[in-house]
C-alpha cells in the first residue's frame, strides 16, 4: 500500500513535531517516530482499525493525542484535543 499525506496532514505533522520539540528536546522526534510506526501498521493492515465515518478509518497514536485517518490510500493526520 502506498501512503500519501494530504497537504493539510503534512502541515499538521510538521506543526506537531515543532510544538513537541519546543516542549522538550527529542519529543518532536518521538512524535514523528510514533506517526511513522502507525503509518507502517496501517500500510500493512489497512482494515485493522475502526471506521470513523463512511469508508474512512482511524488509527489512534499510542503516546500522543492524534489520530491518523485514511480513506482508501490517503492518510490524514488530525489532532484529537
CB 42 within 8 A of CB 14: no
Q: How many other C-beta atoms lie within 10 A of the C-beta of residue 42? A: 20
pLDDT tens digits, 51-72: 988 888 999 999 999 999 888 6
| Enclosing domain of residue 46 | 4-79
Report the CATH number that the domain containing residue 20 is assigned in CATH. 3.30.2310.20
What's the domain count of the chain? 1
pTM listed for this prediction: 0.84
Residue 76, pLDDT above cutoff 80: no
Q: Which three cell numbers stand for residue 28?
A: 518532536
Residues in a beta bridge with 53: 56
Q: Residue 55 half-sphere exposure, CB side, CA atoms within 13 Å?
A: 5
Amino acid at each position: 500500500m502506498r501512503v500519501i499525506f494530504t497537504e493539510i496532514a503534512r502541515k499538521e505533522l510538521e506543526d506537531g513535531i515543532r510544538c513537541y520539540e519546543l516542549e522538550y528536546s527529542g519529543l518532536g522526534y518521538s512524535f514523528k517516530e510514533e506517526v511513522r510506526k502507525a503509518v507502517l501498521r496501517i500500510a500493512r493492515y489497512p482494515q485493522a482499525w475502526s471506521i470513523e465515518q463512511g469508508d474512512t478509518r482511524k488509527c489512534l497514536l499510542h503516546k500522543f493525542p492524534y489520530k491518523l485517518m485514511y480513506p482508501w490510500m490517503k492518510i490524514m493526520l488530525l489532532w484529537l484535543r
